[in-house]
Structure 1
């Protein structure tokens, strides 16, 4: 495991998968500005690595993430706090714009800011007993790092209003039923299942994965005609590549393809 920046995030590199860890287990991985800086650096490094086809986001220790550090949140309104309010949105945008698909493992807890941290990820694997919800209305504010914008795109406006305005935890099984979580597993299996899911993605062509993610991310924000044109443009970019030819040749020859990302 390789520490990043101030050591509050880490990357475990594999052949074609990168595991990004929140690495503050003594504080249940509660997020501070240095931790957020480290997450940005970690995902920028993953994005730049041509050998990586998929990534995970995990919490070191028994808990995924307790959300924002409460002392930091209390003190940030002070004039001399020096806390950048745009830092957390930058973290989420960096994850969202990472070229590779990202699988997050949600074990035991992901409230408030930690919930929002999972939303830009492409797949969410959640533990059966996870405390997963947007609690901000119970803390005198409301989720404002994308929670009111990304969540309706995942579960619909009515269900998003219920989750945000009640401030209650979402049952993991319900999270799966409404399309918020992709799989519910035993708590002790969350991290390994997230890695296995990412490994399954890694079997596919990296150029196809990356351009498909771009097209899918644009789908809900783009008029249909414009989206279809963008989809075709991204597909045409891949046509004259080794991986395109290799994929079809391997299927015709009845063998596993050897993709190279080129």
Structure 2
């Protein structure tokens, strides 16, 4: 495992999969400015690495994350606070724009900011006993690290209002029913299930994964006709690739394809 930046995040390189860890287990991976910056650096490095085809986002130790560090948040409300309020949004945008698909493994707890941290990920694996929700309205504010914008795109406006405005934890089974998470499992198995999900993605053509993600992410950002044109453009980028030819040859020959990102 390679420590990143100040050591509050780490990357475990596993062939075509990279596992990114919040690495502050003694504090239940509560997020500080340094941890958020380290995570940003980790995803920026992965984004430029052609050897990585899929990514997981995990918490070191028994908990995904307790959310924002409470002492940091207390200091933040002081009038002369020098805390950089753009650090968290920048991290979420970096995760969202990472070209490889990202799978979050959410075990035990992911309240408030930790919940928002999982939203720009492409897939979410949730523990059956996890405390998962947006609590900010009970703290005198509301989720404004992207929660009010990303969540409605995932579950619809009505459900998003329920989650944000009640400030209650989301029942894991309901999270699965509404499409917020993709799989439920025992909390002890979350990390391994997230890795297995990412490994399954790695069996596919990496350029197809990347361009497919780009096209899907654009679906809510463009009018339909513009989105369809963007989709066609991204598809044509792959027409002359070796992987595209390999995919069809393998299917015709009834064998597993050997993709090379070429």
* Runs of 4+, deviation exceeding 6 Å: none
The 3-state SS of whatever aligns with 1:239 is coil
Other-structure match for 1:142: 142
Give SS of 2:142's match: coil
Paired residue for 2:132? 132
Give the Å deviation of 1:67: 0.3
TM-superposed CA distance for 1:221, in Å, is 1.8
Aligned-partner Cα distance in 2 for 1:242–1:81:
54
Question: Whole-Å Cα distance in 1 between the matches of residues 22 and 151 of structure 2?
Answer: 22
Give the aligned partner of residue 75 of structure 1: 75
Query: What is the TM-score when the length of structure 2 is the normalising length?
Result: 0.99
CA distance in 2, matches of 1:151, 1:81: 29
Q: Taking structure 1 as the reference length, what is the TM-score of the superposition?
A: 0.99
Aligned partner of 2:185 in structure 1 is 185
What are the within-5 Å matches in structure 2 for residues 138-217 of structure 1?
A: 138-217=138-217
Distance 1:37 1:80 in 2: 21
Distance of 1:55 and 1:20 partners within structure 2: 7
Q: Which runs of 5+ in 2 are unaligned?
A: none
Compute the RMSD of aligned alpha carbons: 0.6
Output the CA distance in 2 between the equivalents of 1:36 and 1:80. 21
Q: Does residue 242 of structure 1 match 2:242?
A: yes
The equivalences for 1:91-130 within 5 A come to 91-130=91-130
Q: CA deviation at 1:222?
A: 1.2
Secondary structure of the structure 1 residue equivalent to 2:18? strand
C-alpha displacement of 1:254: 1.2
Alignment correspondent of 1:46: 46
DSSP-derived class of the 2:238 partner: helix
Pairwise CA distance, 1:255: 1.1
Displacement of 1:81? 2.7
Measure how far apart 1:80 and its partner are.
3.6
CA distance in 1, matches of 2:3, 2:170: 33
